[in-house]
Amino acid sequence: MYGEKQRSDILLCSEGLKTYRESLSPSVSLILLSSYVYCCFVASVSYAQSLLGAPETRVTPLENGLRVASEDTGHATCTVGLWISAGSRYESEKNNGAGFFLEHMAFKGTKKHPQTALEQQVESMGAHLSAYTSREHTAYYMKTLSKDLPKAVELLSEVVQSCSLNEADIEQQRGVVLRELEEVEGNLQEVCLDLLHATAYQGTPLGHSVLGPSSSARNLTRQDLVDYINSHYKAPRMVLAAAGGVSHDELVGLAQTHFSGVSFEYEGDAVPVLSPCRFTGSEIRMRDDGLPLAHVAIAVEGASAASPDIVPLMVANAVVGSYDLTYGGGKHLSSRLARLAVEDNLCHSFQAFHSSYSDTGLLGIHFVADKDHIDDMMHWSQNAWMNLCTTVTESDVARGRNALKASLVGQLNGTTPICDDIGRHVLNYGRRIPLAEWDARIDAVTPRIVRDVCSKYIYDKCPAVAAVGPIEQLPDYNRMRSAMYWLRF
């Protein structure tokens, strides 16, 4: 009745209940075991079935180049939004922060609906209207009941195409943005990762902060914002994405009604072209001995979003893993670096990360440590990288593959993250990569592939390092650089 894998799963599951069952009556014990066996069996076969049975993501281009993409999950709610290829990477030093400023202005009223009327429209639907800006993407989206999809698309089209940009509202939001910049300065992890981008991509647009400097927030004018919209909000760079209880044909019809007028032409053929962003091995330090903990990030140049190396690097990151002192597990944690962090009190937390962009990426580790353990934590972080290049085992990679699969599935919990996934994928790849394809690509990663790919990106490469706080013990850059070679031996 059951295959070998299912039988082993059931034995493992039932063994864990042995002690507890002995304290129960035979009938209750039998019911408990039967239920648990059934659950284990269903779980062991449902993952693959769920991947193959996932709803199709349909993509339809309009005549002006705007793409409409949706996934019908049959929910009573849905999320619909507009994803745009625009962000801080498309900004200059003069207007850095314009995209983030526009995000604040988006909900301050349109030419048809003043702010109060817009808020009433959203409130009456019981909807949630939001936006975000990143280095390469901007998104405006709304979560609402499926029956209100037409109204949601109409409001989104107004927000994106007819933002009022009232001078009084601009001045009011200028103060809000400046306060937000002050708050972000207190988030040392964000500060550290922004500094990492600034030094790794120095002299290029990827070094820009998403929020921009305070000088930009003080000096941006209405015309700067209008010019930004006219330069970047073009139909071929937009995706209208939706997930939940949505009909794709209905969404295409709504897009034609509300977005067919979005321009696809540039004045004087001034098409913005992204210049290559070179990676520079370097460091930036902000020493402040008055802070209790140091934030340190080290990274090498990683793979772009569309690179075939992206999946092996994702598996490698999963092998390194993450840790926080609030976790349980101690010396029994699966990640070797996490076990060392516990046993030797190396840090308060660490996180392996890979930030991928259209033509480059940052493969790195960020950690938070007290001043007496920075040197040791840096040593063992780089040692973890070298292990990926030389001694990673099949059990390590199997654990990494499983952790990565769980992470990818867990991130798509709800219509909003699914919609975000659709929008970003269509912008990055021209299509939505289904989970079944991710699963197959992850399963194809072997220890040999991890070693080869990690050697390509990590071994003997110049890292970028950013550090904030009491960092007197942070090793000299040349010592960290040489470690990328010598730790291999």
Q: Give the catalytic positions in this structure.
A: 103
Compute the half-sphere exposure of residue 441: CA atoms within 13 Å on the CB side of its CA. Answer: 17
Q: Helix, strand, or coil here: 240?
A: strand
Q: Could you tell me if 85 and 427 are in contact, meaning their C-beta atoms sit under 8 angstroms apart?
A: yes
Token pair recorded at residue 373: 């353990």
Q: Could you tell me if 380 and 340 are in contact, meaning their C-beta atoms sit under 8 angstroms apart?
A: yes
**Distance, CA of 428 to CA of 145 (rounded, Å):** 28
**Distance, CA of 387 to CA of 489 (rounded, Å):** 10
Sheet with 238-244: strands ordered across: 57-61, 67-72, 238-244, 77-84, 138-145, 128-133
Alpha-helix runs per DSSP H in 76-141: 98-105, 115-125
> Can you name the residues that pair with 109 across neighbouring β-strands?
114
Token pair recorded at residue 333: 């944690």
Residue 202 CB neighbours (<10 A): 16
CA dihedral for 443, 447, 448, 453, sign (positive or negative): positive
**Distance, CA of 193 to CA of 181 (rounded, Å):** 15
Instruction: Map tokens 């259209």 to a residue.
Output: 358
First to last CA, the chain: 51
Token pair recorded at residue 381: 């972080």
**Distance, CA of 372 to CA of 293 (rounded, Å):** 10
β-strands 294-301, 67-72: how paired?
unpaired
Residue 124 CB neighbours (<10 A): 10
